[in-house]
Structure formats: structure tokens, C-alpha cells
Chains A and B, each alone.
Chain A
Amino acid sequence: MSTQRIYIYKRYERFWHWSQALLIIGMMISGFEIHGSYELIGFAKAVRLHTLAAWTLLTLWAFTIFWQFTTGEWRQYIPSLKNVLAMVNYYLIGIFRNAPHPFRKSTVQKHNPLQRLAYLALLAVISPLIWVSGLLYLFYGDWQHLGIDTYLNLEWVAVAHTLGAFLITAFFFIHVYLTTTGHTVFAHIKAMLTGWEEVDGDDGAH
């Protein structure tokens, strides 16, 4: 089987990915300390770190959204149900039989159909859940001033935020595991670091 190297993750994309990873890991660790799950750096520091990371991530997203639109990369997140079953089949059966990966990465199609669905769920469900509840949580002191205190209560907001946190944490572990399913265990991680991915066949690049 012939393989070929293509430059798939551009410099900004890699910067975005890894800084976002760092911020989300920091927020998971500090967030569950705020939740009372364990004691690590202390409640006060955890709150400060969590808040700082949230604002940093929002800033990063502002740049990223700009980048997605100016480069047209946003199209990578348009979902498609085509070949989703093939992907499910691969992860459930094919992968154990050394079957070829049903999806070939390319610069215009970086994400396999299952990945597209997963990222869409992340963007459309988990992310709004976390950000809306998180910002309300952060601005709790201004509810009265904003006139929204009669419609909200801190418990719902906090529980919604916690639910979002659990979901993203579960997503995180699945995401990290799936990085090991490339040609070699570290192939995907290497690609995200260098930008260069090895893909099957000779029609990978267009």
C-alpha cells in the first residue's frame, strides 16, 4: 500500500488546537475542584484559573471563528450521514481485522463522517450548554442588574454547567483514545504537531 505525506493542519490550526487543549484541560481540572470533587490548588485559585482560562478560550475562539470564515475551513464541520455506517463498522470490526480505513483524509476533507457528527454535537450541543451556563454563572452578580434574576436560579445554571463539564470530559477521553487509531499509535498526534499526515493511496491531495 502506498502512502503519501500531505500538509493537512496549517500553522494557525495547530496553534488553535494545542492552546485550546491546554485551556480545556486546565478548565477540567480547576472546574471539578470548584465542583468539590477534589482538592488540588485550592478553591480560590481554581476559580481564578477557571475564569482566566474561560476568557482566554473565548478570545482564542474569536480569532478561530475569523480564521474559519476567511479560510473557508468552516466547511469541514458540515455534517454528512454518508459513510457514517462504514466508519462505525470500521471502529467496531474493521479495525481489529486490519481492514483499510474507509475514509481518506485530504486537505478539503480532514474529518471522517463520524468525526464531523461528533464535532457538530460538540459545537451545537455541549459547547452552547457550557458557554451559556458558564457565562451566566460568571455574571451571577449582575443578574439583578440585567433583570434576569427572576427567570434563573443558580442551581439550574450550576447543574447545567456541571452536566456540560461531564460531557466534554467524556468527549476528551474518547478523543484522546481515537488519536491512537492511526497508522501508528502516535501518527495522528504527530500530524497535529507537525501538520503533515501520512495518507493511503495516491489520490489524497487534490
Chain B
Amino acid sequence: MRFHVNLCAGLCLALTLLNSPAVAIPVAGQPAATPVERSTTDHSKLDLLKGPFKSGPEVTKACLTCHNTAGHQVMKSVHWTWETKSPTTGKMLGKKWAANNFCGSPLSNEPRCTSCHAGYGWTDQGFDFTNQDNVDCLACHDTTGTYKKFGTNAGHPLYADREFEPMEGPPGKKPFKAPDLTKIAQHVGQPGRANCGACHFSGGGGDGVKHGDLDSSLKTPSRELDVHMAKDGADMACSDCHTFNAHQPSGSRYAATARDPHGIDLPKDDRNRATCESCHGFEPHRQAKLNAHTAKVACQTCHIPEFARGGIPTKMLWDWSTAGKMGADGKPLFIKDEHGHLTYSAAKGDFSYGENVRPEYKWYNGTVQQVTITDKLEAYIATDGVLELNRIEGSAGDPSSRIWPFKVMRGKQAYDPVNDTLVVNHVFGDDDTALWKNYDYAKSIRAGMEYAGLPYSGEFGFIETRMNWFITHMVAPKEKAVPCAECHTRDATGRLAKIEGIYLPGRDRNPWIDLFGGLAIVGAIGGGLIHGLARILTRRQENKQ
């Protein structure tokens, strides 16, 4: 049986790799020596790609000449629409709607936020989502590593070199180079870790900020950091698990597969390998006792002992309420810690960071009650008074739930206390209302809400919020998995000390049975001692007589 499991997983992996044009096929146990070019097309030899290309959309037009359905495929994907219907709650989510406690809403801040849109030119609500020439092919398919969407150009890269002074960086202008679009267009291929990472490693406004288990250390991770993506591990790319079908990615934060009832996915199946079971099956361990854990415990819970392990800290707290302070020089205040990470930004408030963070654990069945920017907040306030931006559903009694690890992001952010909603905060823009230019919340929130067309009472306050980011990347090698005793312990600091609804051996006990049993043992030993002592004493008396 084990042999079959291994064989299937191996075939599965091999087939994926065969579908990728420019990947090395690793031989089991040793990394491949040189990458084998597997594509049937050498793009650098195509007349269509001779260029020169002066803009992103020009390149896209050339791509679509041959790949004539690709544009429409991309335009159906969440990478383009930034909205998606939750399959569990039916609610419209995605960046357009879902609230988080990082940057807030892209609305009214488009040119900045859409630097991670899989398209060009989403500068405002007038963006044409039906024009396939605006699809950005290169962000995902550049293999040179030189393509870069500029941070404030609504998804466009630079088309000419320029100098720019980053808001929170050291004073002074820094030169930024325009990428060579012609060269890049001639060197396209399957997305690698760095392509996805360009946006997904920097969610929340910087390297490692948002997820905790995704940061630039995963471009070339050590085996210890990520056993799947390490060169001396499986050397896999993101899309080996997050399989794409007609440009639709699999694996969603809004609808995770908390328990995969399907198991190993063969090419004839749904081509969704975004679960561990897709390759590892249901019985991945040699020890039956460990396999038995998978009914209640997600693989990630044991196999990702800590997140932010690659030397890049992740944000654990973001307090927007303190933004706007000016330094002694009258200029916006920015304070950095000894590692160069901002701890205070006049534009964003106070931050705290974490590295090698032990996750928090919760029952999770794949359903997330996500707050959107139009929701009344009352229903989402947790028992401790904190607004739970994405409540995780699940319990011990729910057969589709398992114990999952989470990064719990804490924050304080603006809301409308009268209408009981969150607000759209207009932070970015060269105008007289943007927060990052004027440092005035009254103006920036009014402008944001007006732009979004949402009701606003004119009053704002700050509300404490919490958000659950499930941890699923940075899988450690098996020898670094969480040791049993970190959960199976009576210690209040045990990893699963707060998990309710199950009997956890080593943590739980019946105090009455323990009391009775303890007395029985003490009685047995004590009885023996007293009886024996009496024998010795009576024997002695007899000897005297």
C-alpha cells in the first residue's frame, strides 16, 4: 500500500513537471543538475516578439496573437477581477469587498494597490475589465526576474528610468530602472516562485507583512524553511500545488479545504492539488498512530512549527489610530527598530513584528465569516469585544473540522460608529484629502467613502480588530515537525492548551479517577510498609522473649 502511495505521488509530481516547459525534474533524493528546457517553443526566435516593446499592453497584444484564449481566461480569474463569491457563505469577497486590518480598501487608492493587479491601468473605478489588452502576462510569465510592476503606476512597470523617494524609506531619491520589455517578452515561461512572490510575498505593503508564511525567503528557501520549495528539497513552484486550470488558480483563503476527502489527485481528477492529501494521500506516516491524528489535526499543525522562519519578520499588530504624528522638525515621523523595520509610521500608525512565531490553533471547517466594507459590525464582535474580521468556523463535534494553525493579526482601524461599518480610507494620492499626504483622517475617510459611494455618518472612531490567517506554507522537513509533547502536555503553555471538545492524552485527565487511583497506590504501598513494619516489630519482641 505504501509503495502505491509513493508511486502515485511520484507520478503525480512527475506529470506536473512534464507539463511545465522550463523546470528541472529532480531525481528522488538528489537535486537535478541543470534545468531541462521542455517547452516546444523558443520565444526568443519568434518574429512577433522582436519588438521593441514600449509598453506592457503592447507585449500583451503580441502574446494574445498566438495564445488567443489566454486573455479571456485571465479575465475570469480572481487575479483580474479581485472579487470572488465565497462558495461556503455565498458572500461577494475579494480585495474589492473583503476588509482586512492591513492597508484597508483598494477603493480610492487604486494606482498604489493595483500595482499588484494582473493588469495595466486600473487607476480608478472606470477601469475597463473587458479589455484583454490590459491583461499583464509578464508579471506571471517573466523568467528573467527583471520584470517589475512599479509600486504606484496602477500595474504598469516603469517605461523609462526614474528617481523616486519612497514615503517611508531613508530620505533622498533612489533610482529605479525600467525593465527591458523586449528581452522579457522573449523569455517567458511557466511562473516560478519569484513571479507569484512579487505580489504574494509583499501583501500588506511589504516583504512578509501580511501572511507570515509567505515572504521573499521562499524564493530560494533552505530545506529547513520549506521542504517543498527548497532546491535540495522538491524544488517545487507555487503552481505545482496551486494548480492552474485555464488560468484559474486553485486553493483559496476564503474557502480552504480544511479536510480533503478526495485524497490523491490524478491527472484525470479535478487538477486541484492545493491540499497536502493531493500528493501525500490519507496515510502519509509510517506509524499508524500518526495517521490517526489526521482525522482531527491538519497536516500544517504539526509540520509548520513556526511561521516567519526565513529571517523576515511579519507584522503581528497594526494600530492605525496613532497615525499622523509629526517629528520635532514638523515633518511626518517614521521610527525604525534596530533591524530597520518601521515600528511607527506617521502614515500608518504603530506596528509590531514577529519572527519564528508559534501559530495559534483553532478548529476550522473551511468556512470563514468574512467582514466586508458594507457589513454591519455588530454580528462580528467577539465575546472579548474585538471585531473578528474573519471568524473561523468549526468545532470538535463538526466532522469536517480539523485543528489548524493561524497567524492572528491584531489591529486597530477606523470605523463609522454611527453606521456601524468599517470605512474606506483614502490613503494614497497626490491630492488634498489623501491620508499619506495630509495626515488628516477626517478628510481621508470622507473622501474614501464618497469615492466608494458608501453611506458615511461623518463620525469615525477606531475599533480593535483581529484577523485569522491560516498557516499553510513554510512546511518544515519531517524531522522538524512539532514534537508530540508540545501538545500532549499538562502545561498551560502547550500548543493545544486552548483547544476544546476533545480528550487530549497527556493534557487531559479525570481528576476523580486520578485521586482514587493515587489513593489506591498510596494505600497499597503504605499498607505494605505498615504491615511489614509490624512484622519486624513483632518478630523482634518474640526474639527477645
| Residues A51 and B510 in contact in the complex (CB < 8 Å), given A43-B488, A141-B295 | no
Q: Which residues of A sit under 8 angstroms from B292, Cβ to Cβ?
A: 140-142
For residues 271 through 292 of chain B, which have their beta carbon under 8 Å from a beta carbon of chain A?
A: 288-289, 291-292
Contacts of B528 in A (CB 8 A): 173-174, 176-177
**How many A-B residue contacts, CB cutoff 8 Å?**
103
Question: Is the CB of A129 closer than 8 A to any CB of chain B?
Answer: no
> Which residues of B in the span 506-533 have a Cβ within 8 Å of any Cβ on A?
506-510, 513-514, 516-518, 520-521, 523-525, 527-528, 531-532
Interface residues of A in 97-122 (CB under 8 A from B): 97-98
Q: Do A170 and B523 have beta carbons less than 8 Å apart?
A: yes
Task: Give A156's nearest chain B residue, CB to CB.
Answer: B503
B535 on interface, CB distance cutoff 8 Å: yes
Contact mask A160-199 → B, CB, 8 Å, 1/0?
A: 0011011101111110110011000000000000000000
Contacts of A128 in B (CB 8 A): none
Neighbouring B residues of A29 by C-beta, 8 Å: none
- B535: chain A residues at CB < 8 Å are 95-96, 181
- Given known contacts A34-B505, A170-B524, A163 and B485 CB-to-CB distance under 8 angstroms: no
Tell me the complex Cα distance, A35–B532, Å.
31
Q: How large is the interface on B (under 10, 10 to 19, 20 to 34, 35 or more residues)?
A: 35 or more
Contact A163 B524 (CB under 8 A): no
Q: Is the interface of B mostly helix, strand, loop or mixed?
A: helix
Q: Give the residue name and chain of the A residue nearest to B485 (CB).
A: A43
The answer on a CB contact under 8 Å between B484 and A47 is: yes
Q: Enumerate chain A residues within 8 angstroms of B517, measured Cβ to Cβ.
A: 162-163, 165-167, 169-170
Cα A159 to Cα B505 in complex, Å, equals 10
Interface: A203 (CB within 8 A): no
- State the CA gap A138–B505 with chains docked (Å): 12
Contact with B along A124-155 (1 / 0, CB 8 A): 00000000000000101110100000000111
Known: A162-B509, A169-B520, A173-B528. 11 other contacts (CB 8 A): A39-B485, A42-B484, A43-B488, A44-B484, A98-B539, A153-B503, A162-B513, A163-B517, A167-B517, A170-B517, A174-B527
Judge whether A36 and B488 touch: CB under 8 Å. Answer: yes
Say whether B490 faces chain A, with CB atoms less than 8 Å apart: yes
B295 in contact with A43 (CB, 8 Å): no
The reply on A158 being an interface residue by CB < 8 A is: yes
Contacts of A43 in B (CB 8 A): 483-485, 488-489, 506
Chain A residues, Cβ within 8 Å of B295: 141, 144
**Residue on B nearest A39 in the bound complex, by CB:** B485
In contact, B503 and A171 (Cβ under 8 angstroms): no
User: How far, in angstroms, from A171 to B525 measured CA to CA in the complex?
Assistant: 10
Q: Does B542 contact A (CB under 8 A)?
A: yes
